[in-house]
Amino acid sequence: MQVSVESTKGLERVLTITVAAETFDKEFDGRIRHLSKTQRVDGFRPGKVPASVIAKRFGAAVEQEVGGEIMQRNFYEAIVAEKLNPAGAPAVAPLARKKGEDFVFTATFEVYPEVALKGLDKLSVETVTAEIEDKDLDNMLVTLQKQHAEWKEVKRKSKKDDQVTVDFEGSIDGEVFEGGKAEGFQIVLGSERMIPGFEKGIIGHKTGEEFDIEVTFPEDYHAEQLKGKTATFAINLTKVENQILPEMTEEFVKKFGVETGDLETLKADVKKNMQRELDQVLKNTAKDNVLTALVETNEVEVPKALVDGEVNVLRKQAMERYGQQMDPKNLPELPAELFTEQAEKRVKVGLLLGEVIKTNEIKVDPAKVTELIETAASSYENPAEVVEYYKNNKELMQNMENVALEEQAVDFVIAQAKVKAVKKSFDEVMNKPAA
Q: What percentage of residues in the chain have a pLDDT greater than 90?
A: 75
- Binned at pLDDT 50, 70 and 90, residue 272 comes out as very high
| Phi, psi for residue 182 in degrees, rounded to 5 | -155, 155
pLDDT of residue 61 exceeding 80: yes
Please tell me whether residue 99 adopts helix, strand or coil conformation.
coil
Mean pLDDT over 151-172 rounds to 95
Q: pTM of the prediction?
A: 0.70
Torsion sign across C-alpha atoms 44, 46, 50, 53: positive
Mean pLDDT over 409-426 rounds to 93
Question: What is the model's pLDDT at position 435?
Answer: 43
For the stretch 339-349, pLDDT in tens is: 999 999 999 99
Nearest-angstrom CA–CA distance, 24 and 34: 16
pLDDT, averaged across the chain:
91
Mean pLDDT over 361-383 rounds to 92
Q: Check: CB of residue 245 under 8 Å from CB of residue 146.
A: yes
How many alpha carbons fall within 13 Å on the CB side of residue 387? 13
Mean pLDDT over 210-219 rounds to 95
For the stretch 22-39, pLDDT in tens is: 999 999 989 888 888 888
270: amino acid identity, one letter = V
Question: What is the model's pLDDT at position 122?
Answer: 86
331 or 175, greater pLDDT:
175
Q: Which of 208, 234, 212 is nearest to 155 (CA)?
A: 208
pLDDT of residue 322 exceeding 80: no
Mean pLDDT over 215-221 rounds to 91
